[in-house]
Amino acid sequence: MSAPAPTVPAALSKNELMKLADPTLGGSISTVLTDPAAERFAETDEQFLKFHGIYQQDDRDLRKTAKKYMMMIRGRIPGGVMTAQQWITFDDLATNYGNDTLRITTRQSIQFHGVLKSGLGTLIKKINESLLSTLAACGDVNRNVTASPTPAYTKAREEVYAHSIRLMHALAPQTPAYHSIWIDNVQLNLDDPATKSFVDPLYGPNYLPRKFKASFVIPPVNDMDIYTNDLGFIAIVEGDKVLGYNVAVGGGMGRSHGNVQTYPRLADVIGFVLPEHLETVGRAVLTIHRDFGDRTNRKHARLKYVVEERGAAWMHEEVNRRSGNVLSGVRRFEFTTTGDLYGWHRAVDGKLFLTLFVETGRIKNVPGHSMKAALREVAEKFPAIEFRLSANQNVILANISDANRVPLNALLTKHGVKVDQQASVLHAAAMACPALPTCGLALAESERMLPGLIDRIEKLGGELGLGGEEIIIRSTGCPNGCARPYMAEIAFVGKAPGRYQLWLGGNAAGTRLNRVYKDVIKETDIETELRPLLSRWKENRSDHERFGDFAARVFWPEVAVAEAAAAAAKLTAAPATVAEPAST
């Protein structure tokens, strides 16, 4: 069968022309970086910086008086796994060059906020010296590859993590500018014939139309929100051995207010692949995005639109054509939760691990709760401990011996960090993006707003006799969906200062999108909006029915019909077994 022809764009977008003009992605970054008089990078360099893991921002709290330019730097931390020494390095960099906080992202990475241009070069070089990187943490390339971090379910997690590293290397861009600028501290020689003719061997001269996200997950725990990724590998495990992966393609959260051509989408599961072919399938899916993605309209440039418009069957055929027919029929699996295991637990290798709740992912020191100082001391005193970042913005301390449990508890207690009953059920299940004052896209508050709002919703729940009921609540300052709001049971999506869209109906397993219930509500009116909804849930719920399931059943009954049909279809797939978690 001949290959289908990619659509030839009538006119490339501005970003596409920038990439074609300089496929090295170097621009004038080196020149501006070494110029003490230059306050900021130019627009073209801003776009190139994203490929290097950097966003140029300004403090929006100060805009009324003067613009204060600063940088957000995101690490590339495959699978969210860090050594104790790497944690110390990141802690030092946050203190010396950032705003003295570490921000855990929803993709198992760490962001530095408030970094001035003068500290940018040193910060990125030291990250690389720690054997981590920032390359491809942002930009129109494959970004940080995520993988389930919790070691309580199956020994196959280590195998899955190793596979995620393989995929990260297979999909990494090869730009020569990154090491020239940040490691060697030299200006890229644009007159060099090799530099002049550089084209990335995988991505081509203008890389991808937009970002690309890949992830690995181990059922029954969907802690990666696998269906929100462009490419997802769902492990099929038997006897602590990975038999292979179901391949999911075409997920994504981003949308724009008022633009019905943009929407969140769940990935389609298109087949099963053996572990030895995962890189081949990964490159096939990525190059389909490269060849068929929209390069004229960046709002329509994600892979999800290719899959939606051409169909999952077409995607299956095209992946098989590019990979040598390595996809076979989907294996049976089931998800039950997206949450983390808080507190102390026993790993399957016999060691202990401890999951610590981090409010909205922000690690900092505040009176009575010095989490940043606590984790720094943990890294210094227990160098064998492994730090793992969860996609729910929490920290897992793994590889802990039984002998170290008591002294570790004492250390954390000294800093006001709880190990038991760390947070209420609503706080523990909540998530927010940074939004104001750092994100240039934010329309409303998110990280600074959500904890107080959760307190208010808890109070409302207590008044209604719903205290202790878990509801997954997420907020974002704009519709781009960095905190995966469209998977939540209740979501607040910023529309304007103090105003949000209200979305309802996601589920605990991360297998259903929610929907807009009300287009605009005031932040001050949220209790008024939620009170009748929660009251109705209490009075009319089925036995132990969660709020998201209730909302979907009552407000969008066609969703329940579709889910029943999907559940029936699963029964025809081949079975697979997965171990249950162990705990102390």
Q: Catalytic residue numbers?
A: 74, 143, 211, 213, 433, 439, 478, 482
Residue 72 to residue 90: CA distance in whole angstroms: 14
Q: What is the number of other CB atoms lying within 10 angstroms of the CB of residue 284?
A: 24
Do residues 435 and 450 make contact, with C-beta atoms less than 8 angstroms apart? no
Task: Kindly provide the residue ranges of all beta strands, DSSP E only, lying in 139-267, ordered along the sequence.
Answer: 146-147, 214-217, 231-238, 241-249
Do residues 424 and 348 make contact, with C-beta atoms less than 8 angstroms apart? no
Residue 126 to residue 545: CA distance in whole angstroms: 49
Alpha carbon 555 to its chain centroid, in Å, reads 29
Query: SS3 for 106-127, per residue?
Result: CCCCEEEEEECHHHHHHHHHHH
| CA proximity to 130, closest of 167, 175, 93 | 93
Residue count of the chain, please give it: 584
Instruction: Give, in order, the Cα–Cα distances in Å from 340 to each of 321, 558, 583.
Output: 38, 30, 13
Residue 326 to residue 150: CA distance in whole angstroms: 29
Residue 522 to residue 505: CA distance in whole angstroms: 20
Which helix or strand (DSSP H or E) is residue 54 part of? strand 54-58
Do residues 143 and 77 make contact, with C-beta atoms less than 8 angstroms apart? no
Q: What number of CA atoms fall less than 13 Å from residue 274's CA on the CB side? A: 6
